[in-house]
Chains A and B, each alone.
Chain A
Amino acid sequence: MIAEDDLLPYLRSDDRHGQLGALRSLKNSVIGHSDQKASYLDRGVLDDLLAIIGTPQDGVKDPISDECRIQAGVVLGSFAYSDPEISSRLFTPATLSTLVKVLTQYSPPALLIASLRTLTALLTLRLTPSLVQQFPDLAKSLSELISHYSTACFANYARQDVQVLTNLCTLVPLISPSHSSTQSVSSELTGPLFDLVYGSLKGSQASGLVFDSKLKSTAILALAHVLTPTAAREIAAAGPKFTNPLLALLRAPDTATRLSAASLLTALYTSGKPEITSTSGVTRAPQITTLALTLVPTLMKLLDDTIAAPDHGRKCDPRILHTLAILCREGGDVTDRCVEAGLIKKIVSIIVQVAPNNHFAPGRIFETDGKLLSSSLLCLSALGLYNEDYRKAIIEAGALSVVVAVMNTANTPATREVKIAACHVLRTLSRSVRLLRTTMVESGVVCGIVDLLGDASAEEERPLLENVDNVGSEPEQMDDEPVHTTVTEVAAEEDEEEEDLEVRTAAMAAVCNLVLDFSPLRKPILDKGILPLVVSGARSRYTPLRLNSTWALKHMVFGDDMETKACVMSHLGFPLIIKLCDDKEIQVQEQALDFLRNLTARSETYIDMLFDNVGVDEVFHLVDCKLSLRPVPPIDESEQELLSTQPYYTKVIIAAAYIVVHIAAGYDRHRETVIAHEAVLRKIVQLMRHENYEVRLACVWTLINLTWVEEPNRAPDDVASAGQIHTVSPAGGQSSEQVQQEQSVSSFAELYFADIYRRRAMTLVRLGAREQLEYLKQDPVLDVREKTKTAIYQMDSLVGRSPLSAEDEQDIEAGLSRGVEDAGDAMQIDSELHA
């Protein structure tokens, strides 16, 4: 035994035996004594412990050294599992790197267990999505450890192996708390975790080996966490030999196992179903399998049990609600069953338990209950996704006031997730024209949501897209020693920033719906000065925020409100929107092109503005590129990935095609620009056989607009300009001579335009549009057939009803080329045509 005051020198000595004794004494003195822990931390014990744990292994067997490392690991674990004030002091880059090193190098199982527990405690305290970027080998090491200990466990089921495995599985979701980090570890971890889960399921059935239920449930949850859509489909394809034992676990005696099984089954059957669109264009919410329906009673029972417990809902496992949220996002029968079982009211009762009277003090309540609150809100948002009645029920249950209260709570790291979830509730509730016009108006969401979009200036300073990737590639600025610290600190800042970006992204998603033209909130939100924030979001290097911001901009120019359009353009400018049209992310492209589509709809002014600012040829070049867009098959991904992005490529084509439709719906001179760009017209004609009916419809509309015969009074500026080419405008009084002259101008203009119209029609016929229209007469979609009739009628009445021979066509072309000046010729051609 050593006197406590003398411990530190022993820890720092090279005498391993002395060190070991000191560590044991240290352990005895700190366990259960927070004041002791604080005092030792003040005296710098952390560095000593880390130094011991990180003692380099030179390959020589040294039991004493190992024992020291183990003891140091246990002491560190004791520090980690104490008051947040103490454990948060452990959260340093050095601690993380030392602990990760224990996992990546080979270490005794006891040290592994201690280190895993410490890491778990620290990462629970503060989610660190960037951890897997800081330590690229971490996922691989975990994967190898899981494989290794699984094998050992299946062989002889030793207690320590089980402990290591359980701790490994607990850590898995914590190293990948964000979507992007999950994706980066998924490929490494899915295989070993699947083997472990499958082995444990098989073990409990076949060999009679009873797996520890704790290990089983953590392993299942870990697998559910890392599952990508592709992996989920592969596993689901493995069929009943995997799913049947899982289904059996839905009736397991302990709740954790039941929950984990439900969670994995949910992940398996809801992951990444592609949007399904039938040929008629009717998209329905993906139908859930009967299997998913069996999960509802299990999960509802778990929820009911917690609500019925004496402590009410406060000890409810957030994962129950999280799993229900994922299930309900599928819509359809599952959502109906959940609502029928009273889920909406149950969730609201839990929220009331956690935060009575909407009192969301940003202190302790959030620290402990943040997960529960955010899961509750997410589940509500899932329930409101598709059904108007459910949205109404959510509002009637009082959820909107909760959302507003959460949004107005002070911003702390602990409130972020809850705020994100609140934004999602607001987003789904605002998917309703009725609610936007009624309840939302009085809810007071405007200030909250604009505040959440935050300070735009912070990010604007940062470089865009490309430069970010180069941050790590400038090693000359970093010395050997502080490298790790610097990188880690940068990463920690990035985590903070990413979470802030997540909040802004979620808020922006809600803004998308709130600024639609039928929303009375559009004006108050714009008046709050939101536009610079949205434009800054559209410049963000963070893709989800860029997507939502572009989406919001598109909705701001939706509708005939010219004042808002002008206001948006005064902040936005064309260069940014054109840049977004070529974004790396296909969905951003889609939104940017839809922005141009909305901008040019029913507005010749903005067609002109687009042409003036971007250039006519540039606009058509852009459209041309987008019309030819095809998804690039990913190199190492399955066909699924292709299928899931396919709809977005089609949407880009639709958006681009409608830009053409809108330009062609402008003045005659706008139609001339379309006719002048044959490359685009050729694409349009080709796309008339596209599998998506919206594409075909847009193509037919282009033809209808290009063969449209303008009513004489519609576009005075065009007629006047046509007249001015050849005559001097009459001035002065209205003499009979002048009236006659005006009449001749007008008749000249008619002839002039008759020629232009015919020439346009001829061009379209030459490009094959007429044949394609013939084909579309048999289109399966009624609307396409109807519009095809219109197009055929207009085209035929311009070029004559009989199909033209190639010679005729040449003659007409020749006639037309010289006929502009000579109206008589044109008349002759006209009579020839009708002969």
Chain B
Amino acid sequence: MRNIHLYAIPTSQSLNSHPNRSSPSTISTPIHRPVLERASSSVSTTASTVPQITTGLPLWTRSDEYFPSSSAVSLPVSPESSVDVHDITIPSRGFQSDNNGYSAMPPVPTTELVEEESSARKKVCVAAALSSSSKTTNPSGPTIVSSPLPLPLESASDPIHTRRAVATSSSSFLRSGSKFMGTQQSGRSTYEVHVELKHVDMAESFICGYLHIQGLTEDHPTLTTYFEGQMIGPKYSFITRRRDWGASEKTDIAHWARFPSWRPLAKQAKRPDYCHVNFEQRDHIFMRWKECFLVPDHRVRDINGASFAGFYYICFNQLTGSISGLYFHQSSEKYQQLELSHVSDHGNYYSYEFR
């Protein structure tokens, strides 16, 4: 955030879409499958016995009494005879028709209940036909549901709902609840700044939190904004590629180059195909922080004398927890500096996990 009396254009833009999202297949995210592979190998011995059809009649001693068809049909079923299943002999214990001429066979499941109700006599007879012959459904036709829907009652305890979303961090400084304090230099003025991280998700290269700045305008002794950050890594490149943020490739390089820790990377990082892998295990994590709206009331769009239309280039030192930042906005004074250091917390880490 900056003082608008010094630098104009009070429009707010938000960090709402990510430059690389349109082509997820290009993201070189490593695939972690060790557990799974171990799993399949451990069960493969038992699995080899699974795909065998159980043969024999394990349960009913009296089965032949009610399954006369098993002896009435010649075996094995040849491909020709099996095509038309109507040829197969139907059990002959007088089940087909009763003395009223109705089929006593219960309607087969393909019969719609409505149909049964409307014209039972005809339908019941027709229903004796097996549905295998009705393979006339148009492949592109609509999916019409005729059978009851055996969907499970959705349970909150069902594993499919309880996939745990674990936010991860690689540094004690870079975690939800971490606090930083320091200053922002704008022209000849220095403002006190506090930053409080609210959510850190290394897997998504995402960070967000509050940025408090003091004394920026007379009306508001403290202004707080909610910001979101992109961590430079496989997901976000050093090149911003956001026209709406107003930073060109040249601007990007000029700002990154101001961080001494970036210089060793300079040569590679300028390459358009450079991927900053393993970013979470390096001493410095580079980010872009974009302020999105005011806290507590996000609906307040304009603050007289202040703007958060630009964004910060950030260099975060994982060893010391210190943060250096450079504010950028096309019409702002260049290279306004943010310098923050971590506020000691003695390992007082709260625990939360989005459900």
Contact = CB atoms under 8 A, between A and B. Distances in A.
Contact of B90 (A160, A167, A215, A311): A160
Given A278-B32, A302-B143, A110 B104 contact: yes
Interface string A701-731: 1101100100000000000000000000000
Given A147-B54, A152-B67, A389-B17, A179 B157 contact: yes
Given A108-B66, A238-B47, A274-B35, A282 B168 contact: yes
A601 interface: yes
Interface in B44-85: 44, 46-48, 50-60, 62-63, 65-67, 69-70, 73, 75-79, 82-83, 85
Given A162-B130, A318-B149, A502-B155, A782 B142 contact: no
Interface in A535-559: 543-545, 548, 551, 554-555, 558-559
Interface string B73-116: 10111110011011011110111001110101111111001001
Contacts, number: 456
Contacts of B177: 559
A154 interface: yes
Contact of B24 (A273, A333, A505, A543): A333
Interface in A275-301: 275-278, 280-287, 301
A333 B43 CA distance: 27
B282 to A, nearest CB: 8
Interface string B21-53: 100110001111111100110111011101111
A589 interface: no
A280 B137 CA distance: 52
B-side interface size class: 35 or more
Interface in B339-355: 345-355
A340 to B, nearest CB: 8
A334 to B, nearest CB: 10
Interface stretch (B182-190, B202-210, B251-259, B264-272): B202-210
29 contacts: A34-B117, A73-B106, A106-B60, A108-B66, A110-B106, A144-B58, A155-B70, A158-B67, A158-B88, A159-B88, A162-B132, A163-B130, A166-B108, A170-B148, A177-B150, A177-B151, A179-B155, A207-B79, A254-B137, A371-B149, A389-B17, A434-B228, A502-B156, A510-B355, A518-B198, A597-B350, A658-B349, A783-B171, A783-B318
Contacts of B56: 151
Contact of B154 (A108, A276, A332, A374): A374
B129 to A, nearest CB: 9
Nearest to B23: A336
A120 B111 CA distance: 14
B293 interface: yes
A729 to B, nearest CB: 30
Ranked nearest first, the 6 interchain pairs of A and B with the lowest CB-CB distance are A173-B150, A208-B79, A701-B347, A309-B142, A544-B157, A212-B132
B260 interface: no
A91 B81 CA distance: 43
A430 to B, nearest CB: 8
Given A67-B94, A287-B31, A598-B351, 16 more contacts: A32-B117, A61-B65, A152-B70, A158-B89, A159-B90, A198-B51, A211-B132, A275-B164, A282-B280, A308-B142, A311-B142, A317-B145, A518-B210, A782-B170, A783-B172, A783-B318
B198 A129 contact: no
Contacts of A420: 154-156
Interface in A785-801: 786-787
Contacts of B62: 106
A71 interface: yes
A385 B163 contact: yes
Contacts of B77: 156-157, 207, 209
A616 B174 CA distance: 32
Contact of A276 (B33, B65, B143, B349): B33
B113 A81 contact: yes
A421 B155 CA distance: 9
